[in-house]
Structure 1
Amino acid sequence: MENTNGRILIVDDEEDICEILKFNLETEGYTIDVAHSAEEALMLPLKCYQLVLLDVMMGEISGFEMAKRVKADEATRHIPIIFLTARDTENDTITGFNLGADDYIAKPFSIREVILRVRAVLKRTQNLVPIATETAVNIINYEGLELNLDKKLVHIDGVEVAFTKTEFELLQLLMENKGRVFSRQELLDRIWSKDVLVLERTVDVYITRLRKKVDAYAQCIATRLGYGYYFKV
């Protein structure tokens, strides 16, 4: 049975720390998920969390960079962030708070301190944070690229961009199946009406349109030579 005190995401590349935090916070009644990199965390439905415990020094995407992306996305900017890091200089602390962090805990830390700060942040923000589930808001997003499936709208870095019905459905299919390669024929079968004669090259034309419209995210609509197209993250 899922705990009810709130759902928390721990993002840290040190597995031992993640296990200790997960065990102790679950004992306190929280539901805990773990990601060992910012890249892994950004693939999760972040809007369903009430708090993120975030390490700063990780792989290619730092905790600071992940926080920046979370706060830039309208669907996740409300989520409180507590930084957990060995970097405790004044400049790092200021950077963290400027990015919208709600607290900053330096390593090594005591578990009791973490629990107390988690309680304090959740108590302070509980009226501001919508208790969401993965399906509560019907939105697919990758970084600043967002599809609202209910309103059939596409926003790119906060700006609405006009898409035709076919363009929207094609992008939706690719984003819902990130990493999966679709052949041209598969895309034709899924997106286009069986009553309409459409050539495989039509898919290439629409892929070119999508790349132009998603602008900075064009590289995400990738080609697997000889096989088809996929959404690359």
Structure 2
Amino acid sequence: MDAVKILVIEDDETLADTLQFNLELEGYDAMKVYSADEAMDLDLPSFSLIVLDVMMDGTNGFQFAKRLKSDAATASIPIIFCTAKDTEDDMVTGFHLGADDYIYKPYTIRNVLTRIKAVLRRTASPATPKKDAEEDVITYKGITVDKRFKRCMVDGQEVKLVKKEFEILSLLISTPGRIYTREEILDRVWKREAIVLDRTIDVNITRLRTKLHPYGRHIITRSGYGYGFE
């Protein structure tokens, strides 16, 4: 099977080289360029994922992402922004442009690799479907989430979760490393079916952490941004 092709667009040569090296260690076919303008000359549709900086000379990352998403040949390529632009407005802009994840600098290589794996898993081509067991049952250490039977096990013992607790856990554990804003959690779990206060989400997260003991610590808070699982 051909290795997954990943393009790194990063104007910091040390970071670009480090990302490429570690991606190749993980078995990916990784390529790096130091600007979005340089990337324009590549066969972009051949890549399975693009790791993209924002602040670059010439065409910046946001402009490049907009071009990708406006072209039918490249619109479906997943994008992960890795950038020092760390305000909430910047993150929202990135997601509005179609990003699949948004990582702030400084970051760890382990975090980036975990996010890449999660995005590739989420965006896997329908031509290579996963087995039902892989789609519906998620296991992390002592936690098992069975989406088919709406059941959560902790160290072999069933833990009773109410519907919203289960749906929040399923969302977070399915995409390790990604931070979801409260607005995203509302859209995906409550689906705007009711007026829900931010405090309601916080209460559900607190209950989840308690019920998942000792694994509740893996549900993390990024102050000012939201929640994730790592």
TM-score, normalised to structure 1's length? 0.53
CA RMSD of aligned residues (A): 1.6
Mapping of residues 143-222 of structure 1, within 5 Å:
none
Give the percent of matched residue pairs that are identical in Structure 1 and Structure 2. Answer: 51
TM-score, normalised to structure 2's length? 0.54
Task: Output one character per residue of 1:91-114: Cα deviation in whole Å (capped at 9) or x when no partner.
Answer: 000000000000000000000000
Partner amino acid for 2:19? L
CA positional deviation for 1:81: 0.1
CA positional deviation for 1:127: 2.0
Q: 1:114 to 1:74 in 2, by over 3 A?
A: same
Higher Cα radius of gyration = 1
Residues 35 and 41, structure 1, Cα contact 8 Å, conserved in 2:
yes
Residue matched to 2:31: 33
Separation in structure 2 between the aligned mates of residue 16 and residue 92 of structure 1, nearest angstrom: 24
Task: Output one character per residue of 1:213-232: Cα deviation in whole Å (capped at 9) or x when no partner.
Answer: xxxxxxxxxxxxxxxxxxxx
Residue matched to 2:105: 107
What secondary structure does 2:37 align onto? Answer: helix
Task: Output one character per residue of 1:187-219: Cα deviation in whole Å (capped at 9) or x when no partner.
Answer: xxxxxxxxxxxxxxxxxxxxxxxxxxxxxxxxx
Task: Output one character per residue of 1:147-178: Cα deviation in whole Å (capped at 9) or x when no partner.
Answer: xxxxxxxxxxxxxxxxxxxxxxxxxxxxxxxx
Does residue 12 in structure 1 map to residue 23 in structure 2?
no
Question: Unpaired runs of 5+ in structure 1?
Answer: 131-233
* Aligned counterpart in structure 1 of residue 44 of structure 2, from 43, 46, 65: 46
CA positional deviation for 1:75: 0.3
Partner amino acid for 2:48? Q
Q: 1:14 to 1:74 in 2, by over 3 A?
A: same
Partner amino acid for 1:125? T
Partner amino acid for 1:12? E
CA positional deviation for 1:129: 8.8
Task: Output one character per residue of 1:96-150: Cα deviation in whole Å (capped at 9) or x when no partner.
Answer: 00000000000000000000000000000012699xxxxxxxxxxxxxxxxxxxx
Partner amino acid for 1:73? D
Residue matched to 2:96: 98
Separation in structure 2 between the aligned mates of residue 8 and residue 129 of structure 1, nearest angstrom: 19
Does residue 125 in structure 1 map to residue 123 in structure 2?
yes
Separation in structure 2 between the aligned mates of residue 120 and residue 4 of structure 1, nearest angstrom: 19
Partner amino acid for 1:109? Y
Separation in structure 2 between the aligned mates of residue 10 and residue 107 of structure 1, nearest angstrom: 15
